[in-house]
């Protein structure tokens, strides 16, 4: 029997991270011109003071390109060193081709393998899991992982339960070979029975038929509804998501620690998905994290950036000196699906 040749297994780690934070800051006062609310109400329920929204002509690919260039520079690499691009997003407005391929070309990474993954706010941690295994298995030398979302395109500014939450941004990490374990085992999963908890309000097909009807008879459409075109806004059942996130996800984070053979006190920084400061506080309480662990709270001025939130918060913790180079970070992403992924990583 002829055997199949395979490269020797090796370890993987994060070599560099980068972030793109759109320049336009939206404070709670501006949000309150869209919905009947107040700065105090929004802060009390979410911890959010400001969020960033990208300009109209800056999309998922542009934000990714900036974050990726910074991550590559931090890793001491260029686009041509990248063998695979894994991009996590829920807001790239083209069904096909994948944003990852367009990004790879812009970075000079062609012919790197390139594909998008859709795992909501857990997307980046799914990407780290894939990248780690691609490197370990020898399928790729260096993998660029991007978490990016432009949720402002899919935010209903008049929805009192989400208008103040969602935001835009991109974070990137380069994963490459290492002599030591730099990415712990990923604990992940999904619960499609709760698919309605966070979702697009309408499908593209519903948008098409509503648009056709509105075009055929604009006056009737205007009379029938204030919003005749069914845009696929994001909607979520906040209470259900809160319950799931705190009481189901804290044990997942604990399992990621256990799988890595690491104790809570060994962690330098806890980087949960930045969905809501109240969720973060409750998770920290459930996990009984010691005070020595820095807890990333990028949400305060970045809002909920979905797939971008974990890498953005990780980059921030490092830039602010809360997460030392070579230190350990516990990452957990959770969101639409419902889906989740958590792992312990060594910081570059």
Partner 1 sequence: MASEQEILSGLAEIVNEETGLPTDSVQADKSFTDDLDIDSLSMMTIVVNAEEKFGVRIPDEDVKNLRTVGDAVAYISQAQG
Catalytic residues: 121, 273, 304
Smallest distance from partner 1 to CB 55, Å: 32
Per the CB < 8 A criterion, the answer to whether 250 and 283 are in contact is yes
Considering the rule CB under 8 A, would residue 43 count as an interface residue with partner 1? no
Q: Which of residues 207-266 bind partner 1 (CB under 8 A)?
A: 237-240, 242-243, 246-247
By C-beta, is 42 or 125 nearer to partner 1?
42
Residue 89 in 3-state DSSP? coil
Instruction: Rank residues 204 and 247 by Cβ distance to partner 1 and give the closer one.
Output: 247
Interface with partner 1 (CB under 8 A), residue total 13
CB 134, min distance to partner 1, A: 38
**Residues of span 174-213 touching partner 1 by CB under 8 A:** none
User: 279 or 317: whose CB is closer to partner 1?
Assistant: 279
* Shortest Å, Cβ 227 to partner 1: 25
Least spacing, CB of residue 44 vs partner 1, in Å = 7
Binding residue (CB under 8 A) for partner 1 from 32, 39, 43, 45: 45
Closer residue to partner 1 (CB): 139 or 237: 237
Residues 6+ apart with CB under 8 A from 100: 85, 86, 87, 114, 115, 116, 146
Closest CA to 284 of 304, 264, 261: 264
Instruction: Pick between residue 115 and residue 242 the one whose CB is nearest to partner 1.
Output: 242
Backbone φ and ψ for 190, nearest 5 degrees, come out as -150, 165
For the four alpha carbons of 257, 296, 155 and 104, in that order, the dihedral sign comes to negative
Q: What is d(CA 31, CA 24) in angstroms, rounded to the nearest whole number?
A: 13
Distance CA(125)–CA(341), nearest Å, equals: 6
Provide DSSP, 123-181: HHHHHHHHHHHHHHTTS-S-EEEEEEEEGGGG--TT-TTTTTTB-EEEEEEEEEEESS-
Phi-psi label, residue 25: left if phi above 0, alpha if psi -120 to 50, beta otherwise: beta
In the bound complex, what is the minimum distance in angstroms from residue 114's beta carbon to partner 1? 39
> Measured from the CB of residue 240, what is the shortest distance to partner 1 in angstroms?
5
CA distance readout (Å), 140 to 9, 65, 228, 253: 11, 20, 47, 28
CB atoms within 10 A of CB 223: 10
Q: Is 108 helix (H, G, I), strand (E, B) or coil?
A: coil
Please state the closest distance from residue 124 (CB atom) to partner 1, in A.
25
Binding-site string for partner 1 from residue 88 to residue 127, where x marks contact by CB under 8 A and - marks none: ----------------------------------------
Identity of the residue, 38 or 44, whose beta carbon is nearer to partner 1 in the bound complex: 44
CA distance 291 to 306: 26
Contact mark string toward partner 1, 267..296, x via CB under 8 A: ---------x-x---x--------------
Long-range contacts of residues 54-57, Cβ cutoff 8 Å, at least 24 apart:
54/22, 54/24, 54/150, 54/152, 54/168, 54/169, 55/22, 55/23, 55/24
CA separation for the pair 261, 242 (Å, rounded): 28
Measured from the CB atom, the residue of 60 and 250 that comes closer to partner 1 is: 250
Which spans of this chain sit near partner 1 (rule: CB under 8 A)? 44-45, 237-240, 242-243, 246-247, 276, 278, 282
């Amino acid at each position: 029997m002829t055997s199949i040749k395979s490269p020797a297994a090796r370890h993987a780690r994060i070599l560099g991270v980068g972030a793109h934070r759109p320049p336009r800051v939206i404070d709670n006062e501006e949000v309150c011109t869209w919905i009947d609310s107040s700065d105090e109400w929004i802060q009390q329920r979410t911890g959010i003071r400001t969020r960033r929204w990208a300009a109209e002509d800056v999309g998922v690919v542009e934000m990714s390109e900036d974050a990726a260039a910074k991550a590559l520079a931090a890793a001491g690499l260029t686009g041509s060193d990248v063998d695979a691009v894994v991009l996590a997003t829920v807001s790239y407005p083209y069904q096909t081709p994948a944003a990852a391929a367009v990004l790879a070309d812009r970075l000079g990474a062609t012919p790197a393998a390139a594909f998008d993954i859709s795992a909501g706010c857990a997307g980046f941690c799914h990407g780290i899991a894939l990248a780690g295994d691609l490197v370990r298995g020898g399928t790729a030398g260096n993998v660029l992982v991007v978490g990016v979302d432009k949720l402002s395109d899919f935010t209903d500014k008049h929805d009192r339960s989400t208008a103040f939450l969602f935001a835009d941004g991109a974070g990137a990490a380069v994963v490459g070979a290492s002599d030591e374990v730099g990415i712990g085992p990923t604990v992940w999963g999904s619960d499609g029975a709760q698919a309605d908890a966070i979702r697009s309000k309408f499908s593209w097909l519903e948008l098409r038929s509503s648009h056709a009807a509105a075009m055929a008879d604009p006056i009737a459409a205007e009379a029938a509804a204030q919003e005749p075109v069914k845009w696929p806004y994001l909607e979520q059942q906040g209470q259900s998501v809160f319950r799931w996130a705190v009481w189901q996800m804290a044990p997942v984070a604990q399992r990621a620690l256990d799988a890595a053979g690491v104790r809570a006190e060994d962690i330098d920084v806890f980087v949960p998905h930045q969905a809501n400061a109240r969720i973060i506080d409750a998770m920290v309480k459930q996990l009984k994290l010691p005070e020595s662990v820095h807890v990333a709270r990028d949400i305060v001025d970045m809002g909920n950036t979905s797939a971008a939130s974990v890498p953005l918060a990780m980059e921030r913790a490092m830039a602010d000196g809360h997460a030392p180079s070579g230190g350990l970070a516990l990452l957990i992403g959770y969101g639409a699906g419902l889906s989740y992924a958590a792992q312990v990583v060594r910081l570059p």
